[in-house]
Amino acid sequence: MTPAFWGLVVLATATGLVAAWALGANSNSPPFAPAIGANAISTMRAAFLIGILAALGAFVQGGSISETVGAGLVDGVAITPLAATAGLLTATGFMAFGVYTGYPVPAAFATTGAMVGVGLSLGGDPTFETYRRIGTFWVLVPPMSGGLAYLTATVLRRDDVPDTVGIPLLAALVAGILAHIRLSVVPSPPEVSQASVAEFAARTVDAPAVGGVDVLTVVTTLAFAAAGFQFIRRRTQQSVERGTRTFLVGLGSVVAFSSGGSQVGLATGPLENLYRVELGAPGIVLLAIGAAGILAGAWMGSPRLLQATSREYAQLGARRSIAALVPGFVIAQLAIAFGIPISFNNIIISGVIGGGLAAGSAGVSRRKIGVTLAFWVVTLVTSIVIGFGLYRTLSSVLGLR
C-alpha cells in the first residue's frame, strides 16, 4: 500500500468523523428536547446522556444501515477511499449548509444521494430494487409517524382514559418493543450479526409454539411490557406530573439510543469497503469510530441546539411531545431492522404534525410543510449530481481512483 493510499485512508476517516460529529450534534438532539422543555432534566445532563446513549446505539445497532450505505446503493463496483471521501464531503457539506442556514436538510437524503452519485461516477450500476425499497419506506414515514402520533395524542387526550392509565400503557408498548430490538451484544447464531432478547430467550429455552408463535417470545414481550407499565404506573399514581416527566426522560433515552443506531451508518457506510475489505478490519472497529464521532458531537455541539428546540417542545406540551417521540422510536427501529437509512428530522416533524392534528391544528403551516418536502427532494437530487461531479473532479486532479 502506497503513501498516497494511506493519505486517503486518513482523509476519508477524518471526513467520516466530521460527519459523525455533525450527526451527534444535530440529529440526535430532538429526543431529549421535550424532557428539557418540561423541566424534567437539565440541558447539560441531557447532552451528556445523549452522547452516551447515541454512541451506544451506534455501536450495537449501526451495522445494518452502514452496510446498506456502503455496499447496497450501486452494483458492480467497490467504493474506493477517494470515492468515500467525495461522498462524505458532499453529505457533510449539505449538513453544514442546513445548520448555518436553518433549511431542513435531511442527512439520510444527502448521504444516500451522495453515495449513489459517487457510485455511478465509478461506473457502477443502479440498484433499482434497493432504491424502490428505500423510497417506499421514505414515502411511508410521514403517514406512519403522523398516524401513530395522532393515535397516541388522541388516547392521551381522552377524558375517559386517565393519565394514570394512558401514559403507563404507552410505557408498556415501548417496553414491549424493547424486547425485540436487535443488538450485537445479544448472543446469536454465527450467521446472524444481531439478535433480540426475545429471540435469545426463545433459543435458550425449548418451549412449544402455539399457532406458529413461540410461547417464550410472547412471555418475554409481556414481561417487558408489564415492567414498563408497572414502573410508570407507580410514578403517575404518586404524581401525574412526575410520572409524565419520568416517561419523557425514559422515552427520550430509548429514542436517542435508536437515533444513534439509525444515523451512524450515514457516516460509516461510505467507509465500509475501505475498512472491511481493503484494511481487513472487523466491522466493530468502524462502528467504534462512528460512535466516537457521535459522542464528541453530542457533548460539544448539542447543548445549543437542545436549548433552542426545548423551547419549541415546551410550547407543544408534554402529551404532544410524547406523541411525537413514540413514532420516532418505532420507525427508527424498523429502519434499523430493514437496513434503511432514514432522516430523523423527517420522523419528528411528521410526529409533531400528527400530534397537532389530534388537538385540532397541526401547528405547522401548509407552506412550511411544502417548502420542507420540496427541499428534501432537492437535497436528494442535488447530492447525486454533486457527488458524481466531485468524485470525477478529485479523480482527475489527483490522478487516483
Q: Would you state the pLDDT for residue 223?
A: 95
Where the chain has pLDDT below 70, the residues are 1, 99, 102-104, 191, 207-212, 308-316, 358-366, 368-369, 400
Cα–Cα distance between 305 and 43 in angstroms, integer? Answer: 10
Instruction: Report the distance separating Cα 375 and Cα 110, nearest Å.
Output: 11
Neighbour count for residue 124 (Cβ, 10 Å) = 18
- Cell of residue 391, nine digits: 468524485
Q: Residue 314: what pLDDT?
A: 60
Structure-block grid coordinates of residue 129: 430494487
SS (H, E, C) 206-233: CCCEECCEEHHHHHHHHHHHHHHHHHHH
pLDDT number for residue 385 = 96
In terms of residues, how long is the chain?
Answer: 401
DSSP-derived letter for residue 126 is E
In DSSP notation, 107-161 reads HHHHHHHHHHHHHHHTTPEE-HHHHHHHHHHHHHHHHHHHHHHHHHHHHHH-TTS
Give the pLDDT confidence of 121-165 residue by residue, as tens digits: 999 999 999 999 999 999 898 889 888 888 888 888 887 788 888
Quickly list DSSP for 155-171. Answer: HHH-TTS-HHHHHHHHH
Task: Tell me how far apart the terminal alpha carbons of the chain are, to the nearest angstrom.
Answer: 14
* Closest among 71, 50, 251 to 156, alpha carbons compared: 251
pLDDT of residue 311: 65
The 10s digit of each residue's pLDDT in 160-186 is 788 888 899 999 999 999 999 988 888
- Nearest-CA neighbor of 259 among 64, 15, 30, 19? 30
φ, ψ for residue 210, nearest 5 deg: -120, 115
